[in-house]
């Protein structure tokens, strides 16, 4: 599959679609998932155009891993979750719905079920409150 420059994450990177930003550096961008599976669900994407893991340059993957680790620590601290799940899906058959490589940072609590992936839009005011806590923990 060829990279589509009109996917939602590409539009977010170009400032054509709004997002609730958490973190940015020269290679990566992090923002709140608008259809979260748990409180504090955050996404980290490379700025490089890549459909999936197999399309991403190793140096960009390394930068993404570094940012994911940094943001995940802040999410864990800010949200107060005892665990963090990092999820990354490759291809529609694996559940990928946006074809721009991305990591999900999902806070986890034992016994608390996650919501289904990409099903229900969150309250943007609540997402902004969570993002403020995460940014403060960075």
| E-only strand ranges, the chain | 21-24, 28-32, 42-46, 83-87, 103-108
DSSP state of 9: H
d(CA 135, CA 131): 6
Q: In what order do the strands lie in the sheet with 28-32?
A: 21-24, 28-32, 42-46, 103-108, 83-87
Which residues are marked as active site? 102
Contact (Cβ atoms closer than 8 angstroms) between residue 106 and residue 130 = no
Q: How many helices (DSSP H) and strands (DSSP E) are in the chain?
A: 3, 5
User: DSSP labels for 64-93?
Assistant: HHHHHHHHHHHHHHHHT-SEEEEE---SGG
């Amino acid at each position: 599959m060829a990279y589509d420059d009109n996917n939602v994450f590409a539009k977010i990177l170009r400032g054509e679609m709004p997002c609730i930003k958490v973190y940015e550096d020269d290679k990566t961008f992090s923002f709140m998932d608008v259809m979260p599976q748990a409180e504090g669900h955050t996404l980290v994407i490379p700025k490089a155009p890549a459909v999936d893991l197999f399309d991403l340059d190793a140096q960009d993957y390394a930068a993404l891993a570094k940012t994911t680790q940094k943001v995940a620590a802040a999410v864990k601290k800010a949200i107060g979750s005892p665990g963090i799940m990092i999820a990354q899906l490759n291809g529609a058959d694996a559940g990928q719905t946006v074809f721009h490589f991305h990591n999900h940072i999902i806070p986890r609590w034992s016994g608390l079920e996650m919501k289904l992936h990409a099903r229900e839009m969150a309250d943007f005011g609540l997402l902004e409150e969570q993002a403020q806590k995460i940014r403060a923990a960075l």
